[in-house]
Amino acid sequence: MHDSRRYQPDLYKISAGPVADIYLLQGRVGSVNFQEEIIFYRVLPWIEISVTLDCGESEGLYFGPGKEDSIPGLAYYMQNEKKLNLNFNFVPAAEVLTGGAFLVERRRAVNFNACEFAAPDNGTGQGWSLLRPGSFGCRWEAKQGLLQTVLAWAPGEWLYASDDSIRSGGSRYTSLRGRYTYRCALHYGSISAEELIKTATSFAEPFLIGTAIQEQKKKNCAVNNFLSSSSSSHQPFITALFRKEGRIYLRLCNYSTENKEFLLSGGSLPIRPVSMELKEEGEPRAGLTLASGRIQTVQILAKE
């Protein structure tokens, strides 16, 4: 068992400006050299973390339990505490909210998979959450408030650790070689399914960062000064804005449990609903109502 904090890493402030302060942390965990970049944004509501691990270029390194220290009767893949992890100290909580665009679950188990985010819920309605694009393995110590997220593991011998993925043991594929970079963020705010989905999607999709900045600067403004509604709580969420064959398309999603209405620039820009294949589905109109859980792509038409 190794803890990177025991190796006295070096910390440098490498940038300070109107957008963000950036810190560089360099250190070692066991036999692995690592470099961690931490970004504190002025406007965005999260702290961004990027970790690069150097696992060696030749022989590579093993991470995870071997026969001598594994837990009898428990499969290797379940022994998350013995893998290479990022550890986060949150408040103690019985449940952890995890999920993605259309499925949010409350986890009570020690080991579970999370998709896009993991947020301990201690009943206050506010707190810290971890954002990571994609799906990732977690281990949650409820009484300690410790969230471990798996970065890598490669036990010395495993069922599918051979060159042909059938025979056990001795494969060169059980070790990690080279440099690997992992990206995540810590966010403080509302512990609610809808808000966590929006934040996790904004972090995962670079296009949406501009939306997050606009929403943070002006709580009552239209998203990117583009969407408008009678109530900001009824705005759907932009997931894509793109151009194809000279036409401009906008894709929206309603993550909430209620219908949502929207207009483009207060109704001054007409739209036309289209299919996922971008085929026309109806006449031009000023606005659109999205049912709960619905994704809709629209073509943005030129103002006459």
Q: How do residues 242-254 score in pLDDT, each as one tens digit? A: 888 888 888 888 7
Contact 128, 93 (CB under 8 A): no
126 pLDDT band (50/70/90 cuts)? very high
Residue-wise pLDDT for 32-44, tens only, equals 899 999 999 888 8
Q: Which band of pLDDT confidence, cut at 50, 70 and 90, is reported for residue 99?
A: confident
Give me Rg for the CA atoms of the chain. Answer: 23
What does DSSP assign to residue 304? -
Range in 49-53, 87-91, 172-176 with the lowest mean pLDDT: 172-176
Fold classified for 219-300: Immunoglobulin-like (2.60.40)
What does the mean pLDDT of the chain come to? 80
Q: What pLDDT score was predicted for residue 180?
A: 92
Please list the residue range(s) of the chain that carry CATH number 2.60.40.1180.
219-300
Secondary-structure class of domain 4-207 per CATH? mainly beta
Q: What is the pLDDT of residue 230?
A: 41
Mean pLDDT of 150-178: 68
> What are phi and psi for residue 249, nearest 5 degrees?
-125, 150
Q: Is the separation of the CB atoms in 140 and 112 below 8 Å?
A: yes
The pLDDT of residue 250 is 86
- What is the pLDDT confidence band of residue 51, given thresholds at 50, 70 and 90? very high
Task: Quote the pLDDT of residue 170.
Answer: 60
CA separation for the pair 113, 106 (Å, rounded): 11
Residues of the chain with CATH 2.70.98.30: 4-207
